Amino acid sequence: METQQCTIGVDVGGTNIRAARISSAGDIICKKIVAGSRDPRTALDLITSLIREMDGPEVTAIGIGVPGRVDATTYEVFSGGFLDLSGLDFKTVIERIFGKPLALANDCSMALTGEARVGAARGLGNVVMLTIGTGIGGAAMENGRIVNGKQSAGQLGHLSVNYAGRQCVCGQRGCVETESSGSALRRHLDEAGYALETRFEDILPLAQAGDERALGIMKSWAGPLRSAIGTLSATFDPAVLLLGGGMGQAALDALGFLPKAQGWYCTEVRAAALGDDAGVIGAGIAAHDLSLQTDGAASSKAKGKRVLMVNGIPASGKSRLSHAVSERTGLPILALDTVKNPFLEHLEGVDRLFNRTLGKASYQAIFSVIGDAPDGSAFIVDAWFGFQPLELLRDHIAAAGVTDVAEIWCHAPANVLAERYAARLDQRLPGHPGASYIPELVELAGRASPTRLGPVYDVDSTKPPADDAVAEWVKRTLLERAS
């Protein structure tokens, strides 16, 4: 029996270190948790021991999320907190020991990667996350990619919300970490006269019952966090802001005691979904991404082939955008309907089942065309890639010799998709689903998401077209990068 390829994800904390084998779909295959250490060398020994236990021939790459700032270019860890790993050359050490590529990033960036792929922000390209624990960490994602800035953007716990506030270890005063972290909550409890063993769970029901002392703590603790969320909303305009970490849900509950946010900056705030596994899953997913890039680099002597996947469910606007990008880049388009429609024109009695079978064959034919093309070729593939398993797509990409992939994710609200689909029914050939498909389309709109096999550009097709900007992104991300 063929063994499933996987990666190893490691989430490094001062209290615990987690390691897991992660499938290409982001599932945990097996996991182990050990007590951490504040001593950097001991922590490194624990990490290598866990990786060695998880390693095997089916492991293609390793991902590690660490506390502190990580240079996104050099992978140097140059600051830390409770566990200070600055100065340790993780990348060299791990790659030398295990002979496999290492993806290294801040632990919050890894957690956001996990939540964006398989968690509470699945399918969204523009997301901000705050992790609430002893301190406050954070990360931001734009068009499916972590925002790194010059070195290590995303230190969102150090947004100043009170210029006359407490001194922070970063050198500023009044950082949201000093005002709304777990440590800050402990200070509020102490100052209000609660016993040392009192926890958030103890005062939550009191606040819900109207107890003034408990309500005061909730508002004092959550108020600065609300201010930081407003700033992040104005800065990044994310589709959603996630609250994770050990006290993420508590922070969300505390925000509920404040008046509802109004004005321009009212981003939806949502609890993270993956809990303590977010970091280890995200690290494994980052390792999968790196493995794909490494595989592409290994065959880059022959240049390989490049594919821009314009992805979206029916009526999402992907075909219009495919043609707009083609006109601006010169890339040829391979579309499922272009392959299918000549057959539908000549065959009689085609039902939906046959149409779906024809779609599967067309899908395969597209990648066969790419496979027969000379190295260095680049294509736009216009399709709803979610109608087939992700593993099949990976197989097609590998068999066709594709080394670089980028994705444009087209979407719109379900009601808009339904209206568009209904308006075009008389233009569709027999065999395509009819009006009875619309409820299924509406349901699909709620769960569809991009493949994220490469960088993703998010397009809401209800907004005015930004075709020039999209085309420039394609040139910069896919064409120039691979040249």
Cβ proximity of 462 and 420 under 8 Å: no
CATH of the domain at 365: 3.40.50.300
Is 150 buried (19+), middle (13-18) or exposed (0-12) by CB count in 10 A? exposed
> Has residue 478 been placed in a domain?
yes
Same domain, 167 and 64: no
What would the pLDDT profile of 435-470 be if each residue is shown by its tens digit? 777 888 889 888 898 988 888 899 999 999 889 999
Is 172 buried (19+), middle (13-18) or exposed (0-12) by CB count in 10 A? middle
What is the span of the domain harbouring residue 399? Answer: 299-482
Q: Say how many domains are in the chain.
A: 3
For the CA atoms of 479, 61, 114, 40, the dihedral, rounded to the nearest 10 degrees, stands at -120
> Has residue 229 been placed in a domain?
yes
Give the 3-state secondary structure of 320-376.
Answer: HHHHHHHHHHCCCEEEHHHHHHHHHHHCCCCCHHHHHHHHHHHHHHHHHHHHHCCCC
Same domain, 304 and 213: no
Same domain, 34 and 96: yes
SS3 41: helix
What are the tokens at 13? 């904390």
Dist. CA 421–CA 336, nearest whole Å: 17
Antiparallel, parallel or unpaired: β 145-146 and 136-142: antiparallel
What would the pLDDT profile of 348-371 be if each residue is shown by its tens digit? 766 667 667 877 888 889 999 999
pTM: 0.63
Same domain, 305 and 246: no
Give the pLDDT band of residue 155 (cuts 50, 70, 90).
Answer: confident
CATH of the domain at 20: 3.30.420.40
Same domain, 89 and 148: no
Same domain, 476 and 341: yes
Residue 300 has a pLDDT of 44
| Total Cβ atoms within 10 A of residue 422 | 15
- For tokens 């979206």, the residue is 312
Q: Which amino acid is at 293?
A: Q
Same domain, 102 and 126: no
Residue 81 has a pLDDT of 64
Same domain, 102 and 129: no
